[in-house]
Amino acid sequence: MVAKMADYAGACHRAALRADPVGSNPPFALRAGTWPRAAHGSADFRRGLAYPTVIRSAIWSKIMSRFWSPVVHSLSPYVPGEQPKQDGIVKLNTNENPYPPSPRVLAAIASATDRLRLYPDPRASALRETIAAHYGVEPEEVFVGNGSDEVLAHTFQALLKHDAPLLFPDITYGFYPVYCGLYGIRYEEVPLDAAMSVQIADYRRPCSAILLPNPNAPTGIGLPREAIGRLVAEHPDQLVVIDEAYVDFGAESAVPLVAHHDNLLIVQTLSKSRALAGLRVGFAVGQRPLIEALERVKDSFNSYPLDCLAIAGAVAAIKDDAWFQETRQRIMANRQSLVRALSGLGFEVLPSVANFVFARHPSHRGADLAARLRQRGVLVRHFQKPRIEDFLRITVGTEEQCSRVIALLRGLI
């Protein structure tokens, strides 16, 4: 048994090196999709946990520490996209905004440094009021956190842990199964249809809650607000969480539905459309009992998740609507040109309403293209996962960055 595990560990290590030839990610930080094909049939693997669970608990955890809490042995942490240390890389792998944040954000952060001696407002009232005014809700219907990842984490713990499974798409944001592992939440993955779209009807099955990103990641495909309304109405006794990380790039937000549905929670971020990934600010909008649940978890975890610089910067970002509108329009225009150019090179490009596109070429493997682009200084995201292993997820960059990736691809195919 141990020899077999060691074999798998070796195969996994080799798979990791193939996926990441310069070895920027440690081999034990593998995703389920990089495990050997032989493992793909197991129930644990389908839950996204198989080999990380087996290998870590049987080998790594023995080696690494006998002091770990039991849950740590089975964790399969999320592996974020690479953040290169060197300059001059065209970074189209983590869906950051290619344009800078509003100059008003920088000014607001500079003036908030006067308050660094003090703890920040634990309720972040100024930010909640600003978000509430912007979206036409009450401040008590807004929760804020240290990036939408933290808001989602609290949502999983506060609202998504029940006996029946949580449902989310089989191809979606890779952090969802990770939170399920962390909090011991049962889940089922609902397959996207053949066109890689979410079908609301596929969610008519026993569950405790439903979680959908809209637009979905990494496909970029969005659902109209009317479909979200139908989903929420069809499941009056289940919470529906919509992760709108990319909604500002052409999709329809479901925030206006919150007033009519006590089972709807919307999560958004300032990382993408407001160019503040480094500041770590996310928020949720929902009716008061939902927000109260999030506050309870937050206040049992960290009273001050947002520091005073983040609160000041985020307030300024939400208030500078002109800057927001201009940059998101530019990104949408760049997306259009990028899609046109990729299609011209023979790529199949999924219809994106996000700040990234998901595309594959009929005669080139996704892993090869990603590796070759990387050798030439352009990072895009590739997922070694069934159904999507030939796709590249390319963040919409500046005009120049998009031209660069197209010029390189033209030389490669």
Ligand X SMILES: Cc1ncc(COP(=O)(O)O)c(C=O)c1O
Q: What radius of gyration do the chain's Cα atoms show?
A: 21
Asked if 245 interacts with ligand X (CB under 6 A), we say yes
Asked if 157 interacts with ligand X (CB under 6 A), we say no
Shortest Å distance, C-beta 262 to ligand X: 23
Asked if 282 interacts with ligand X (CB under 6 A), we say yes
Asked if 213 interacts with ligand X (CB under 6 A), we say yes
* Helix residue ranges, H only, 266-307: 288-298
From the list 58-66, 142-150, 189-197, 303-311, the region that binds ligand X by CB under 6 A is 142-150
Question: Cα dist. 110→102, 115, 308, 333 in Å?
Answer: 13, 10, 11, 32
Shortest Å distance, C-beta 83 to ligand X: 12
Asked if 271 interacts with ligand X (CB under 6 A), we say yes
CB nearer ligand X, residue 277 or residue 297: 277
From the list 64-72, 145-153, 310-318, 391-399, the region that binds ligand X by CB under 6 A is 145-153
Order of strands, edge to edge, in the sheet holding 239-243?
142-145, 282-286, 264-269, 239-243, 209-213, 166-169, 187-190
Asked if 20 interacts with ligand X (CB under 6 A), we say no
- Distance, in Å, from the CA atom of 152 to the CA atom of 145, rounded to the nearest integer, reads 9
Residue 68: what residue type? W
Binds ligand X by CB under 6 A, chosen from 45, 51, 168, 173: 173
Binds ligand X by CB under 6 A, chosen from 76, 95, 253, 384: 95
CB nearer ligand X, residue 20 or residue 243: 243
Asked if 217 interacts with ligand X (CB under 6 A), we say yes
Asked if 177 interacts with ligand X (CB under 6 A), we say no
Catalogue the long-range contacts made by 4-12 (C-beta closer than 8 Å, 24 or more residues apart): 5/54, 5/55, 5/58, 5/59, 6/59, 8/35, 8/36, 8/39, 8/51, 8/54, 8/55, 9/55, 9/59, 11/35, 11/36, 12/36, 12/51, 12/55
Shortest Å distance, C-beta 75 to ligand X: 18
Q: What are the residues binding ligand X (CB under 6 A)?
A: 95, 147-149, 173, 213, 217, 243, 245, 269, 271, 277, 282
